[in-house]
Amino acid sequence: DESLSSRPMRRVTEPLARMGADIETTGAGTAPLRIHPVEKLHGIHYELPVASAQVKSAVLLAGLCAEGETCVTEPAPTRDHTERMLRGFGYEVRREGSRICLDGGGRLTACDIDVPADISSAAFFLVGASIAPGSELVLEHVGMNPTRDGAVTILRLMGADIEVENPRDVGGEPVADLRVRHAPLHGIEIPEELVPLAIDEFPALFVAAACAEGETVLTGAEELRVKESDRIQVMADGLRVLGVEAEPTPDGIRIRGGSLGGGEVLSHGDHRIAMSFAMAGLRASGTIRIKDCDNVNTSFPGFAGLAAGAGLKIEVLRG
């Protein structure tokens, strides 16, 4: 995957190296990676410089095979799917405030897993139904992990009409059906404590902000600059093409809602950018052409067909 191969990996390889791992990256700190065998790993107590579930999970999973205790301290809450999964497999994981710890050398017990619908994928349709007049959608069996539901909270703060129906627990993960109806949105200052809980959904939320009345301000989201693309800059560039006032900042963006026009936007191979601008087409006065969308098939195969079934006028162009 071209976009994943360009992501900085030293933030993962450095703590693993402290545990004794031998991993080589390119000179730029990206994949491809060379991982050499080592005799043993040892546990560490690691403080995340930036809240990241991916880095946390890498260290904890390495800790399963390490000698002694491995602990990760996070500066803000991040998604806890890995911890829930390990507990589901019978492994003891301890949380002490902002610190998560486990001991190496334990045993995993096989079990059945029910994987709910992905809230990050659902977010595109939550935004789409919120901005399209006359819309009403029900998204079934959506994972509502409390470390992942920030997009729902942010949309509600903006005035979205989202109901959580039939909440239940499936395999240690909270699940619910989401009913969303069109509603007029308004700009907000997004609380920084919600940023880690919606970090992957911000491209879609930026589209919601572009369709809202007033200004939306995001801060504390510098991690967006090191995703599959620099999502702050790429979204700002695309929104400007569509006629929206969007001002990127080092750790966020300011978006003044208004009318959307058509135009050609670049996704830079980032699946979430591509799907977000597809939803923007629901409110655009002209055709939006989105370049370089192949990676959508990696994360959300069938997106175009599902979107068309929900009412989008969407066409996939080859070549």
Catalytic residues, by residue number, are 200
Contacts of 302 (CB under 8 A, 6+ apart): none
Compute the distance between CA of residue 49 and CA of residue 73 in angstroms, rounded to an integer. Answer: 9
Count of alpha carbons within 13 Å of 269, Cβ hemisphere only? 10
* Helix, strand, coil share (%) of the chain residues, nearest 5: 35, 25, 40
Compute the distance between CA of residue 284 and CA of residue 292 in angstroms, rounded to an integer. Answer: 20
Compute the distance between CA of residue 318 and CA of residue 17 in angstroms, rounded to an integer. Answer: 43
| 8 A C-beta contact, residue 249 and residue 233 | no
Preceding omega of 133 cis (within 30 degrees of 0): no
| 8 A C-beta contact, residue 110 and residue 89 | yes
